[in-house]
Amino acid sequence: MLITRTSSAPATLTPEQQALVEALMTRHGDIRLAREVNGVHAYITCPECLQEDGEPETWKKHLAINLDRWAQGHNRAAQCMKTGQVFEIDALTMWEPLEKRGYSTGPPKIRDQLLIREDYLETDEHGNTVPKGPGLTVPLTGLPEDHPCIYYLRSRNFDPAALEAQFAACYCYEDRKDLKYRKLTGGFIDSPGGRLVLYILQNGVRVGWQARILDVQDEQAHYYYHPGRQAWLTIETRETPECPWVRREGWEEFEPSKYLSARGMRRNSCVMGYDAAMKWNRLYRAGKKRFVIVSEGPLDSARLGSPAVAICGKVASEKQCEMLSEAFDVLLVCPDNDIAGSKLMPYIGQWVGAMRPVYEIKVPARFKDAGEMSAADAAVFRVSTLAPLGLL
């Protein structure tokens, strides 16, 4: 397989972009890279055009994926230039390889520079090579009650101590000096600094982390915490709760990452809350079937509590499902209440197959996802879903 580059294409990609490109290549064959006005694009064979037009689509490559938009958290930044159809990027990494669809992918070796950015990695205290930490941090239980991070969590009805137990959660008060981050409108920096940090621990190894931006809202204003100014800034307003949000003048281009992932982190092999779920089963399910609740986002699993885990995306990979199947006897899938969420159960089912029982448990329709529930709602939800399955 081959990565070809136009004259405008960057010489290198970030490790996250490179990992995505390689994952797409194993499913869709050769890739063409180009820098367009609105970001770096990877052009791949469009699955729908391939079905309609056959072999010519493998070199025409109508499906454009905006790698820069994807890096900012936009999973639907993939559009066919021929039909206008929009695809979910995570889902594209799960398609059957071209050869299983009756088409050749060419030589199996990926011919392009493989970016191993050692400056994104460090060695932990046990000698493991892991993504660098976010910077200087303090555990949530070490923060005063009036701290912005605690205020954010309380506004969403989360218990800081429980988050710390489940994810080793902390607050990053100073970025690393050896990494550069994207500058945003108004002096914001798209970095872990001034964010809630949730670690991903697997078998005692810190394989990654995600940093959640701090934002709160009331009926008429949406605020973001600015760590440089140590103040909450009003970015969006609305006249009533039924009205759409409107950006304030000067903030139209403000596009921070909602969740910022560790550089060098392999998302498709990470399960947030994994060690905590294992520990919970050892403590409370000794001699019984071990189970896990699989959700999409970190704060979804936080709301449900251990043994809930997050795949940190809309699609579960083969590696993630393999880890969950090996560690737990029963898998409960708790998707978001949206179109993308409706596909999570089939994705997990295709990888787990008959290895383990898999059940879908859906939060009430009035909630977008588990993270929107109150603690009381979540407690009722757990009992009402676990009891019929004999898992209480």
CA distance 219 to 243: 10
Q: By the 8 A CB rule, do 371 and 301 touch?
A: no
Closest CA to 311 of 283, 278, 347: 347
Residue pointed to by tokens 């940093």: 211
CA distance 32 to 236: 38
Q: By the 8 A CB rule, do 238 and 248 touch?
A: no
* DSSP label of 93: T
Residue pointed to by tokens 């010489």: 11
Ranges of residues in the chain with a pLDDT under 50 are 109-116
Start-to-end Cα distance in the chain:
50
Q: By the 8 A CB rule, do 330 and 359 touch?
A: yes
The number of angstroms, rounded, from the C-alpha of 202 to the middle of its chain's C-alpha atoms is 16
Question: Burial code of 213-241, b = ≥16 C-beta within 10 A, e = fewer?
Answer: bbbbbeeebbbbbbbeeeebbebbeeeee
CA distance 88 to 19: 16
Alpha carbon separation from 118 to 44, 130, 132 (Å, rounded) = 28, 10, 10
Contacts of 316 (CB under 8 A, 6+ apart): 294, 344, 347, 348, 351
- Residue spans of the domains in the chain: they are 3-101, 121-262, 268-389
Q: By the 8 A CB rule, do 34 and 66 touch?
A: no
Alpha helix stretches (DSSP H) within the chain: 15-28, 47-53, 57-60, 67-71, 89-92, 148-155, 160-167, 274-284, 298-304, 318-327, 344-352, 375-386
Q: State residue 1's pLDDT score.
A: 63
Dig out the tokens for 60 from the structure: 């025409």
- Domain 268-389 fold: Dna Topoisomerase Vi A Subunit; Chain: A, domain 2 (3.40.1360)
Dig out the tokens for 297 from the structure: 């986002």
Contacts of 140 (CB under 8 A, 6+ apart): 149, 150, 153, 160, 161, 163, 164, 169, 170, 171, 196
pTM above 0.85, yes or no: no
CA distance 16 to 183: 19
Q: State residue 176's pLDDT score.
A: 94
Sign of CA dihedral 277, 266, 321, 349: positive
CA distance 278 to 276: 5
Q: By the 8 A CB rule, do 89 and 77 touch?
A: yes
With H, G, I as helix, E, B as strand and everything else as coil, classify residue 170.
strand
Residue pointed to by tokens 């892991």: 130
Tell me whether the omega of the peptide bond preceding residue 47 falls within 30 degrees of 0, making it cis: no
CA distance 389 to 392: 8
CA distance 392 to 340: 29
* DSSP label of 282: H
CA distance 8 to 119: 25
Q: By the 8 A CB rule, do 352 and 378 touch?
A: no
Q: State residue 373's pLDDT score.
A: 96
Residue pointed to by tokens 């060690």: 275
Q: State residue 7's pLDDT score.
A: 61
Q: State residue 114's pLDDT score.
A: 40
Q: State residue 106's pLDDT score.
A: 55
